[in-house]
Amino acid sequence: MARADEQPTERCVSPTMRTVPLPLANSPAQVRARLHVRRESHKVHFPGALSLWHLASMDAPTVAVVWALAFAWAGGLRLPAWVPVMLAMGTWTVYIGDRLLDARAGLRTGAADRLRERHFFHWRQRKALLPLALATGGTAAAIILLRMPVAIRERNVALGAAALVYFSGVHALGGRGLQRLPKELLVGVLFAAGCTLPTLTRLRLMGNAWEDLAPLLVAAAAFAALAWLNCHAIERWESDVVDDASKVWKAAAMLALTTLGLALLMAGIDAHRIALLLLCAAGSALLTGGLDRMRGRLAPLALRTAADLVLLTPLVCLLR
């Protein structure tokens, strides 16, 4: 109750204060952001040097050289030193060009959300990477012209033409020419062909019939399937596709079991080196499936790096 001698007062409220909403201390957006940071901090991250191995596109040349040398070992050959050098330079050049063109297209069309860390890395370092890629590409071409025997060079023309058609279809035509073709399978077949042809062409020139090369061709087909699995897994992981009916680990398990059966078959016909190479392919498939099962625990960059790291199992053959 107010006192009789108390004068009524007018409460002044600033109109500005009525219109300014007070920020919530724990708004839903802030909570989600904190949870995201917390989840990312608990994920596994690889050391900087290993991440750079992937970001700088050194992973694909490494895988190509390891498998090319492993196929030569399985075929009882020792490749000339210029072959792995040429293969590494050519592979690196192609991957640098592919990622620079992807980054350029994504940034120009406003589809930057489809780009990954490797694309942004290449775009930031394009002034250094582009001249280096031109130099390595030119060196690889010079090696082919100066060192590769004419007979082997002629047998590799088809592979080079196929790779050029694929590259043009993806970038020059915006992928319109490849819409009906399984892109992941094409990449797997081309990559496997590039790794196996140095051995197969030499064995053919040495007089080996295709029937004699059947075990090596089986291993080549298994590697093509493994390269497809690698591309398929990366595509699913980076597009965040959730489909219980076609998980990567299921495809990986099926490939591993098939390859293991082929390895036992090769061991039964005394093709022990081929059998060991197939066991390496089965191990890579199992490791890829394992990555799919634990992908939620790995940071995106670590997961992408590990996808190629698990393909280096043939080092077991080379280091024996």
Nearest to 149 by CA among 196, 194, 201, 193: 201
- pTM for the structure as a whole: 0.82
pLDDT at 26: 56
Band (159; pLDDT cuts 50, 70, 90) = low
| Portion of the chain with pLDDT greater than 70, in percent | 76
Q: CA-to-CA distance for 250 and 255, rounded, in angstroms?
A: 9
- Confidence check: pLDDT of 250 > 60: yes
- Confidence check: pLDDT of 256 > 60: yes
Distance linking the first and last C-alpha atoms of the chain? 98
pLDDT at 43: 83
pLDDT at 158: 62
pLDDT at 309: 97
Phi-psi category of 110—alpha, beta or left, where left has phi over 0 and alpha has psi -120 to 50?
Answer: left
Lowest mean pLDDT among 56-60, 74-78, 124-128, 144-148: 144-148
pLDDT at 11: 47
Band (7; pLDDT cuts 50, 70, 90) = very low
For range 130-151, the mean pLDDT: 91
- Confidence check: pLDDT of 316 > 90: yes
Structure tokens at 29: 């957006």
- Confidence check: pLDDT of 91 > 60: yes
What is the 8-class DSSP label of residue 298? B
Residue-averaged pLDDT of the chain: 83
- Confidence check: pLDDT of 5 > 50: no
Band (173; pLDDT cuts 50, 70, 90) = low
- Report which of residues 115 and 166 the model is more confident about: 115
Task: Report residue 46: phi and psi, to 5°.
Answer: -85, 160
For range 167-182, the mean pLDDT: 55
Say what angle helices 157-167 and 82-108 make with each other, to 10 degrees.
10
For range 155-171, the mean pLDDT: 61
Tell me: the pLDDT tens digits for 262-313? 999 999 999 999 999 999 999 999 999 999 999 889 999 999 999 999 999 9
178 CB neighbour count, 10 Å cutoff: 16
- Report which of residues 1 and 71 the model is more confident about: 71
Residue position matching structure tokens 């090319």: 68
pLDDT at 10: 44
Q: CA-to-CA distance for 168 and 178, rounded, in angstroms?
A: 10
CB-based contact 280:316 (threshold 8 Å): yes
With the C-alpha atoms ordered 83, 84, 89, 92, is the resulting torsion angle positive or negative?
positive
- Confidence check: pLDDT of 3 > 90: no
pLDDT at 30: 47
pLDDT at 153: 76
Tell me: the pLDDT tens digits for 10-59? 444 444 444 545 444 555 544 444 444 445 557 888 888 999 999 999 99
Q: Exposure of 213 by Cβ count < 10 A (0-12 exposed, 13-18 middle, 19+ buried)? A: middle
- Confidence check: pLDDT of 1 > 50: no
Q: CA-to-CA distance for 144 and 198, rounded, in angstroms?
A: 12
Lowest mean pLDDT among 58-62, 112-116, 120-124: 112-116
